[in-house]
Amino acid sequence: MVNIKTLSSGSKGNAYLLEDEHSSLLLECGINFRNIQIATDFKASEIVGCLLTHEHKDHSKGLKDVLKNGIDVYASKGTIEAEKITHHRLKSIQARKQFNIGNWTILPFEVEHDAKEPFGYLIANGTEKVLFATDTYYVRFKFKGLTHIMIECNYSLDILNDNIESGRVSAILKRRLMKSHFSLENVIEFLKANDLSQLKEVHLLHLSDNNSDENLFKRKVQEVTGVPVYIA
């Protein structure tokens, strides 16, 4: 059974843990390693690897310390080049080429973000399948048999437009958000396009401080999926 633990989510830093009975898999390392140690009850040695989606610091701030503490980190060639770090534990992976880390089977896939070569991940453990997609405005692929979805839901277009009219958000920021982050409206379309027959839960990630509404987002996604929805 896979357990999802949010350590941090949002522009101040992102990090999540997937846990089974034997090990943990770290998703992102955008916080201090000390906080990762605390979250694992100082059992960071049970982390078998870290998946990094892209090079932006709210996702990779703790990269050097994660590597220093003996944890292999997996990322695209473009992400590694952007990080400008050379380390024997920093592993280059390719989109749509499956690999294994302990009990975890990982399939990286391309996403759409203003980074060099960003990835999302389909992560399988036994009969459970976890989709992890953050910092993207669109996912071009469809997935079958998902049991857990961890997906960015950064803003609502309606809220964003209201904030532009009131002067709280600039048109420049709106253009960047629409070309780099997942909106509630696009999340709902993505969910409707995929097989949700085995779905157990949804975790909404990376909500904007100004352009989101937790209660609205949770209600709308629950209406589409019929499963528990958690705000990270």
**CATH for 11:** 3.60.15.10
Has residue 52 got a pLDDT over 90?
Answer: yes
Residues of the chain by 3-state class (helix, strand, coil), percent to 5: 30, 30, 45
Which domain covers residue 123, as residue numbers?
Answer: 3-231
> pLDDT (tens digit, 9 = 90+) per residue, 33-48?
999 999 888 888 899 9
- Residue 215 has what pLDDT? 97
Has residue 103 got a pLDDT over 90?
Answer: yes
Has residue 198 got a pLDDT over 90?
Answer: yes
DSSP string, 129-196: EEEEE-S-S------SS-SEEEEE--B-HHHHHHHHHTTSS-HHHHHHHHTTS-BHHHHHHHHHHS--
d(CA 229, CA 222): 6
> pLDDT (tens digit, 9 = 90+) per residue, 68-88?
999 999 999 999 999 999 999
Report the percentage of the chain scoring pLDDT > 90.
Answer: 83
- Residue 167 has what pLDDT? 82
> pLDDT (tens digit, 9 = 90+) per residue, 123-178?
999 999 999 999 999 999 999 999 999 999 999 999 998 888 888 878 887 788 88
- Grade residue 62 by pLDDT with cuts at 50, 70 and 90: very high
Mean pLDDT in residue range 54-61: 96
Has residue 207 got a pLDDT over 90?
Answer: yes
- Residue 200 has what pLDDT? 98
d(CA 232, CA 218): 11
Number of domains in the chain: 1
Q: Using an 8 Å Cβ cutoff, are 136 and 181 in contact? A: yes
- Residue 134 has what pLDDT? 95
Q: What is the edge-to-edge ordering of all strands in the sheet holding 90-93?
A: 3-8, 15-19, 24-27, 47-51, 73-76, 90-93
Instruction: Give the predicted TM-score (pTM) of the model.
Output: 0.95
Mean pLDDT in the chain?
94
